């Protein structure tokens, strides 16, 4: 088992598309998946029925939170009392997850290091379905049987920035830390979380050998990666420190449940909001360092506030300024269906741009973006998660900066 790879969390994984019989309980009462020989390499071949604890998840692009239910899969040899070669099946119970499953949805059965199973069903043709396929190194899963991987230490299986976010979507917490900077952060920030601008600036200051002029795509991802690691390092320490103090009611002697819930909610909210703000912070500096003028969250029509407006708000509202020289950029660390929000910002600009860090957005969604005249922009290292046709259309950060620079030089 190698640190920093999927093998650190999983012993093996199998994926397939759900058949009508597997997805529709009205067509079969068996509730079973066929455990192929290659799956048995990590599931085992027990002589007796074996109940395996499992966490079931149903994922869709429409809901940021998955449907989750703890249950089990039962592994057994359906030919135990017959003079034939063993054939293993996995029985699954009725759950909220199975009740939402449809024919064609992606099914993933992964064995975790603690011996339990993670059973993921992702909506067919969704972005999250494609992201799960990419995470585990599968593509175009169409044949009826399981595709299986029990060796998860190839270069594809290395856990990096993009894969960490997908893993956390399925409940796998990836511990990343850089204790070298912990004492400095505690001293500099007085043992608390600074503002996002302060923290982004600090993260950039620890990468003194990088110049914003060299490679915008590489620089942006390096800054984001460093801030993510430093944030998790500081967060882990501060959370541990707060938990060590306990949550007891100062008036009563009982446990302060409300205090604990409030603290837990603040941790979750900070995680959700921080990444998007960090991305905007780093882009703002990247543009400035490359001599590109812009306004951040400037007000346009109907009180809309596009994340970035080029060259600025004065030019945007000037009647004599050529609209073709204007550019707007929406910024969303993850898209889901929220990308449509960008369409109603900056009415004077017909061709809109959206920068995101989301991997493997579905073809259906990118086709709709093209139809709506929304150009997707991603750091170059994330392009590989998309199809060849999508990659030919997606713009990288360097190309976007050159586009804006060219407009401003007119």
Catalytic residue IDs: 316
Residue 390, both tokens: 């999508």
Question: Token pair for residue 5?
Answer: 């790879």
Q: Which residue has the tokens 């949550």?
A: 247
Q: Are 362 and 127 in contact (CB under 8 A)?
A: yes
- 296: CB partners within 8 A, 6+ apart: 280, 284, 307, 308, 309
51 CB neighbour count, 10 Å cutoff: 12
How many Cβ atoms are within 10 Å of 178's Cβ, its own excluded?
14
Task: Copy the structure tokens of residue 245.
Answer: 């103090």
Please, what sign has the CA dihedral across residues 396, 397, 400, 402? negative
Residue 331 pairs with which residues in a beta bridge?
A: 355
Neighbours of 164 (CB within 10 A): 18
Torsion of CA 220, 226, 227, 233, to 10 degrees: 170
Give CA–CA dist 57/129, Å, rounded: 12
Which tokens in the block code for residue 187? Answer: 């001293």
Q: Could you tell me the maximum CA-CA distance found in the chain, to the nearest angstrom?
A: 87
Nearest alpha-carbon partner for 101 in 82, 121, 131: 121
- Identify whether the C-beta of residue 70 lies closer than 8 Å to the C-beta of residue 82: no
Reduced to 3 states (helix: H, G, I; strand: E, B; else coil), residue 52 is strand
Distance CA 344, CA 366 (A): 18
Token pair belonging to 8: 């650190």
Measured CA to CA, the distance from residue 75 to residue 33 in angstroms comes to: 10
Q: Is 400 exposed, middle or buried (0-12, 13-18, 19+ CB in 10 A)?
A: buried
Nearest to 281 by CA among 236, 235, 227: 227
């Amino acid at each position: 088992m190698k640190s920093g790879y999927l093998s650190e969390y999983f012993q093996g994984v199998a994926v397939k598309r759900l058949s009508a019989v597997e997805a529709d309980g009205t067509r079969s009462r068996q509730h079973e998946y066929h455990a192929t020989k290659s799956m048995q390499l990590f599931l085992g071949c027990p002589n007796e029925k074996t109940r395996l604890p499992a966490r079931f998840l149903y994922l869709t692009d429409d809901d940021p939170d998955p449907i989750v239910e703890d249950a089990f899969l039962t592994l057994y040899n359906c030919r135990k009392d017959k003079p034939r070669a063993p054939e293993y099946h996995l029985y699954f119970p009725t759950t909220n997850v199975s009740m939402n499953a449809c024919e064609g949805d992606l099914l993933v059965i992964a064995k975790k290091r603690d011996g339990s199973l993670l059973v993921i069903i992702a909506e067919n043709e969704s972005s999250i379905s494609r992201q799960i396929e990419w995470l585990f190194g599968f593509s175009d899963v169409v044949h009826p049987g399981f595709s299986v991987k029990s060796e998860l230490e190839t270069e594809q299986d290395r856990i990096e920035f993009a894969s960490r976010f997908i893993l956390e979507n399925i409940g796998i917490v990836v511990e990343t830390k850089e204790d070298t900077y912990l004492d400095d952060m505690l001293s500099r920030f007085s043992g608390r979380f600074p503002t996002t601008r302060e923290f982004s600036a600090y993260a950039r200051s620890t990468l003194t050998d990088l110049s914003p002029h060299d490679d915008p795509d590489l620089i942006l991802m390096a800054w984001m990666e460093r801030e993510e690691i430093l944030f998790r390092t500081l967060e882990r320490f501060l959370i541990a420190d707060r938990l060590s103090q306990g949550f007891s009611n100062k008036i009563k002697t009982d446990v302060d449940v409300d205090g604990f819930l409030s603290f837990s909610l603040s941790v979750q909210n900070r995680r959700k909001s921080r990444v998007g703000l960090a991305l905007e912070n780093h882009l703002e500096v990247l543009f400035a360092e490359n001599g590109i003028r812009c306004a951040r969250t400037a007000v346009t029509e109907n009180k809309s506030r596009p994340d970035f407006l080029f060259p600025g708000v004065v030019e945007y509202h000037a009647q004599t300024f050529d609209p073709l020289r204007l550019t707007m950029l929406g910024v969303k660390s993850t898209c889901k269906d929220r990308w449509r929000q960008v369409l109603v910002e900056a009415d004077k600009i017909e061709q809109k741009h959206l920068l995101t860090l989301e991997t493997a957005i579905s073809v259906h969604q990118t086709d709709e973006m093209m139809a709506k005249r929304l150009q997707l922009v991603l750091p170059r290292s994330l392009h590989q998660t998309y199809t060849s046709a999508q990659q030919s259309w997606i713009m990288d950060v360097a190309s976007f900066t050159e586009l804006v620079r060219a407009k401003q030089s007119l």
